Structure 1
């Protein structure tokens, strides 16, 4: 008898209205039928998923996680510390699932679960944040980092990414401004900034369109968006206009560029968000792209292309 392949299945039972509970037996049956011996770990607290990967992951042939972007972040953070690479399958079960959207993973739980064992390996870049943290798709600071995760999805769909900015700015007086020096191999910026994000995704907080550049998840580069502090309502309007510009079109208040490394120094401590979760308070930050670090199991390229064309056609018809 052939030796069974070993799987670690990590489940966040509280993600996405606990949908995994209704499908868990079907998922386990499918994985057993696919020749896996499954070890299930149900997370109980913060960092539990990361610690489970560190404790059990090295002896597995495949790690599958079910949860939201925060759970995925923990699992990949643990995998980055393993001595040998292990492939990763993902069953998105959170409320936002930004990175799953970028990977064109199925939205329904059973198709996603089957893709987690039958998909094609796709090597993705990972972000290294300072000395001790990782992020999968976004590191951000400033005025709008919480808004993206608090705004209802139907409102996002209706109003688009201009509303994302306006929702976060109830009045100019409410904007927190940070004095920063931001450096990368391509340029150095200094001054007052209200927002910044370093991304490797097509969707942030459920919004598509915040990153206007062509995004590749395995090119060794991040997409960076930085917004200077507006002084007047007219400048605030200019920011919204600047967000609509393509990368090659310049704005005095909005900067968009690609880079593989970024250093940020601030005069006062700044709160950071990593993949939708609190990432710490820091005055000095170094962000580096680690190319093609994790093998994700994704839909075949042909299916991905069809999905992309269907999505584009639906958006054009809206």
Structure 2
């Protein structure tokens, strides 16, 4: 009987590198389940994506360990290669938004059990012009929080690094207005914004941003959050309070669901995709690809 083949791909620099101390235990679990395991530590940015795209056809399952960026690369590799292979995810980053949204544990061996024995769940992703994102596309305030926070600082401070950067973003004089026109279905919005997020996750940068009871990761729709440009400090405080309370105030914040968006801005705007630099764009088309890949989640008891 031919053994099932499994690719275990991990980022040795992600988070505190905690996966390395449990690597033997995780691989042993995979072998006991009947897998022939190939181990691949990532060598550089986009290495996971390139390797999966070129070699994914040889495997029955892929397990990745790292931050959300590592998972992001694996999924992009699967899409580029046209593979329908279940993915297991062992989160090892300083902030693991997507794993938390799926109920995947932050504890290495518990997450490993889910990756090996869990139930494949068909999950949505987003197409952003010709690129892809797994859980969030964003612009404006807070978007520099992830990819401009030094990796070593993230490792030491974890969530606090993200929160600290976010608070600093609200300092006087740092508020930039983005004049945008947004079409979402039959909805047309034209306004000045300081922040926008198209999300498939319950938290961003470790901070719960949206009412979790309204979020489904396989419904073919994104959660869209657009924060208007505030006229004074009082409005800033009201905005922040409503976000922290997970009750967006329609006076200052647009919050709705959409499967397709067209965004036009008066100038090139910096976007982030899953916390990574997504480039500068005037025109953006964002499309939800329903149930685009399968990820292993905890079995229901």
Report the TM-score, using the length of structure 1 for normalisation. 0.86
**Structure 2 SS opposite 1:211:** coil
Structure 2 CA distance for partners of 1:177 and 1:90, relative to 1, 3 Å: same
Conserved? CA contact 2:159–2:205, under 8 Å: no
Equivalent residue, structure 2, for 1:143 = 141
Equivalent residue, structure 2, for 1:226 = 226
Name the CA distance, whole Å, in 2 between partners of 1:96 and 1:282. Answer: 27
**Structure 2 SS opposite 1:54:** helix
Equivalent residue, structure 2, for 1:168 = 169
Q: How does 1:1-318 map to 2 (within 5 A)?
A: 2-131=1-130, 133-147=131-145, 150=149, 152-153=157-158, 155=160, 166-171=167-172, 173-208=173-208, 210-212=209-211, 214-243=214-243, 244=245, 246=247, 251-302=250-301
C-alpha deviations, 1:119-157, integer Å up to 9, x for none?
0111110111111x1111111110122336758556599
Structure 2 CA distance for partners of 1:61 and 1:256, relative to 1, 3 Å: same
**Structure 2 SS opposite 1:78:** helix
Conserved? CA contact 1:12–1:71, under 8 Å: yes
1:164 Cα offset (Å): 8.2
Structure 1 residues without counterparts, runs of 5 or longer: 303-318
1:237 Cα offset (Å): 2.4
Alignment size in residue pairs: 292
Taking only aligned residues, the RMSD between alpha carbons, in angstroms, comes to 2.1
Conserved? CA contact 1:58–1:83, under 8 Å: no
1:234 Cα offset (Å): 2.2
C-alpha deviations, 1:57-111, integer Å up to 9, x for none?
0121001111101111111011112334111000101000110101111221122
**Structure 2 SS opposite 1:239:** helix
Report the TM-score, using the length of structure 2 for normalisation. 0.91
Name the CA distance, whole Å, in 2 between partners of 1:237 and 1:197. Answer: 19
Name the CA distance, whole Å, in 2 between partners of 1:38 and 1:245. Answer: 43
Conserved? CA contact 1:218–1:291, under 8 Å: yes
Structure 2 CA distance for partners of 1:184 and 1:81, relative to 1, 3 Å: same
Structure 2 residues without counterparts, runs of 5 or longer: none
